[in-house]
Amino acid sequence: MGASAIRAAVMDPMGRALLGTEAVHGCDPAIRLSTALSVVDSVAANHHAQRDGAVLVVPDDPSSRIGHNILEIHEGGPVRLASELGAQLMYLRMRGLLGPSRTTAVVDIGRTGISVSILDSSSGHVYDAMWTESFRGDMFANAIFDHLAEEHGDHNAMTAEALDRLSEGIEWSLEMLALHRVVRIGGPFVGGSVNLWRTTVDRLMFDPLTDAVEWVRETLDRCPRQVDTVVLLGGCANLPVVRSLFTQSFGPKLITPSTPESVSAKGAALLAVQRSGAVFRQRTSQPSYQRRDVTRHAGSV
């Protein structure tokens, strides 16, 4: 249950296959919880899953993770609750993406900021965690919004409703630009729609992203423990410019799952399977060229 989207996933009873996912984007914060529960109900009904075994992960204060085992599941209420970081670790472990690493740093670039959590990947114990709102996903979206409005905007068409649709379109375009070099985006523009090029987004994001990478590096350098692996998560982690800048800084230590924006939801599904009493084995780590579920970076992208 993130700030920009609510995602749900359901696994088979042995935790081996992803049966389905659902997502709601741009949810009103006032009804976020009720919307999340509705998505849980929907995905459970559509895939004949056990609704009473669902696990919900919610954003938390990273500093509250320090000294705790983030794999714990809390009972009570309409669903079980678990740490977002715990769900992420569960997914990374069960998919064999961490290899022999012992100390892992999870970098999560979200809509409201960037968090860095340093943990023991075997036990789930958190050594340190920090968060900053200086570099946010919505900062990048706002920069694109301002650019498009200034370069192509039709002032007569800029109604409140049109601007809201443009904001939603920009969120969509950021996901699409992870796969395509250009997308067509509609809005209050002269002509009705414009091309948004990945190179334009790269230019708008480059300076704040460079600062963000430096903040992450300084955070890890202050940690008394040597970090073996840096995992990059969050919707922005799909963008090539983000991966490239982090790769330049962290080299072969950096890995990014193939769908970094949905790792928390899939990890929550795995926690639900485990909590139900199913016994499943963690995948053994494979060389990076054999993995289909992860991108391991050894150079610029």
Q: Evaluate whether 287 touches 265 at the Cβ level (below 8 Å).
A: no
Is residue 251 in some structural domain? yes
The predicted structure's pLDDT at residue 78:
67
> C-alpha dihedral over 132, 137, 142, 147, to 10 degrees?
120
* 292's tokens: 């289909």
The predicted structure's pLDDT at residue 171:
83
Q: CA 24 to CA 154: how far, in whole Å?
A: 30
Is residue 148 in some structural domain? no
Domain that holds residue 53: 5-135+204-296
The predicted structure's pLDDT at residue 21:
82
Q: Averaged in consecutive runs of 10 residues, what is the pLDDT profile of the chain (301 residues)?
A: 76 79 74 78 79 78 81 74 89 86 90 90 90 84 91 88 88 86 92 92 92 94 91 89 93 90 88 69 46 43 30
Q: CA 85 to CA 73: how far, in whole Å?
A: 12
If one counts the domains in the chain, the total is: 1
Is residue 117 in some structural domain? yes
CATH of the domain at 268: 3.30.420.40
Phi, psi of 292 (to 5 degrees): -100, -10
Is residue 92 in some structural domain? yes
The predicted structure's pLDDT at residue 74:
77
Residues 6+ apart with CB under 8 A from 204: 140, 143, 144, 147
Is residue 168 in some structural domain? no
Strand bridging mode 18-25 / 73-74: unpaired
Three-state SS at 83: strand
Burial class (CB in 10 A: 0-12, 13-18, 19+), 270: buried
Q: CA 74 to CA 76: how far, in whole Å?
A: 7
Q: CA 42 to CA 48: how far, in whole Å?
A: 10
* Residue reference for tokens 């990048």: 140
SS3 letters across 110-159:
CCCCEEEEEEECCCCEEEEEEEECCCCHHHHHHHHHHHHHHHHECHHHCC
* Residue reference for tokens 């002509």: 191
Is residue 193 in some structural domain? no
The predicted structure's pLDDT at residue 255:
92
Is residue 155 in some structural domain? no
Phi, psi of 169 (to 5 degrees): -65, -35
Report CA torsion sign: 238, 234, 128, 112: positive
Is residue 235 in some structural domain? yes
Residues 6+ apart with CB under 8 A from 228: 100, 101, 102, 103, 104, 253
> C-alpha dihedral over 127, 214, 296, 23, to 10 degrees?
80
CA angle 174, 180, 182 (to 5 degrees): 80
Q: Evaluate whether 55 touches 271 at the Cβ level (below 8 Å).
A: yes
- Of 22, 112, 23, the residue nearest 62 (C-alpha): 112
